[in-house]
Amino acid sequence: SQQGEEDPQALSIQEGENATMNCSYKTSINNLQWYRQNSGRGLVHLILIRSNEREKHSGRLRVTLDTSKKSSSLLITASRAADTASYFCATVIYGNNRLAFGKGNQVVVIP
Amino acid sequence: NAGVTQTPKFQVLKTGQSMTLQCAQDMNHEYMSWYRQDPGMGLRLIHYSVGAGITDQGEVPNGYNVSRSTTEDFPLRLLSAAPSQTSVYFCASSARRSGGNNEQFFGPGTRLTVL
């Protein structure tokens, strides 16, 4: 079953704007990961946030995790056309060695 | 390093045919896994391995077999292809046995069509 569910599922923004995506999940997790997939390519890891962390940054990316609400958000600041991609969240539950991916969130950045 | 490589890139099969999708990694990673990606479904785990000689089932294992005789290779076998197996298949690896808890490195994918 799908653990992560991203919202919104499609987003279109102008270059330079910020893009925010949310991910919700149902069971307690060990960690949550965000991946990017460019059209026709494999997935690329962006950030991993553990259940005892609340926020992480990587360049223009900011990820938050709220375990009480079972949700995470990915913020891309000052978006670029190259950020056009699908973004997936994936969760790992305690005692499990497997990632469960959400359905993905398509982001289009208009130059 | 080539990272994670997959062959072939594209494949068309007829119903009932068998084939093997190849996956190799040159990073000495212990954890390897296979996913399928279908439109609107995200990625679903088929099988995974935490080291040579050790494999386990994922979310959608039916119709697929795997083996892990070496650290580098993790082939996925379709025993009798069905149209429902039309999908894009991704192989991924991770450095440690607790691969689900670490960054995954993905291959470029194999696009399979079953007629």
Confidence of residue A3 (pLDDT cuts 50, 70, 90): low
Q: How many CB atoms lie within 10 A of CB B67?
A: 16
pLDDT in tens, A70-87: 999 999 999 999 999 999
Tell me, letter by letter, the H, E, C secondary structure of A37-106: ECCCCCEEEEEEEECCCCEEEECCEEEEEECCCCEEEEEECCCCHHHCEEEEEEEEECCCCCCEECCCEE
pLDDT at position A1 is: 32
pLDDT at position A96 is: 76
Instruction: Give the position of tokens 């799908």.
Output: A2
Amino acid sitting at position B90: F
pLDDT at position B100 is: 73
Residues of B with CB under 8 A from a CB of A: 4, 31, 33, 35, 40-45, 48, 50, 58-59, 90, 92, 97-109
**Chain A with chain B: Cβ pairs closer than 8 A:** 66
- CA torsion, ordered A56, A82, A37, B28, to nearest 10 deg: -70
Does the distance separating the beta carbons of A92 and B101 come in below 8 Å?
yes
What residues does A106 pair with on adjacent strands?
Answer: A10, A86
Does the distance separating the beta carbons of B42 and A45 come in below 8 Å?
no
Coil vs helix vs strand at B83: helix
CB distance A21 to A39 below 8 Å: no
Q: What are the backbone dihedrals phi and psi of residue B100, each rounded to the nearest 5 degrees, phi first?
A: -65, -20
Give the percent of chain A with pLDDT over 90.
73
pLDDT in tens, B46-82: 999 999 999 999 999 999 999 999 999 999 999 999 9
Q: Does A10 touch chain B (CB under 8 A)?
A: no
Whether A2 shows a pLDDT value over 70: the answer reads no
pLDDT in tens, B72-114: 999 999 999 999 999 999 999 998 777 777 899 999 999 999 9
pLDDT at position B41 is: 77
Please, which residues have CB within 8 angstroms of residue B39's CB and are 6 or more apart in sequence? none
pLDDT at position A71 is: 94
Cβ-Cβ contacts under 8 Å, A98 against chain B: 33, 45, 48, 58-59, 100
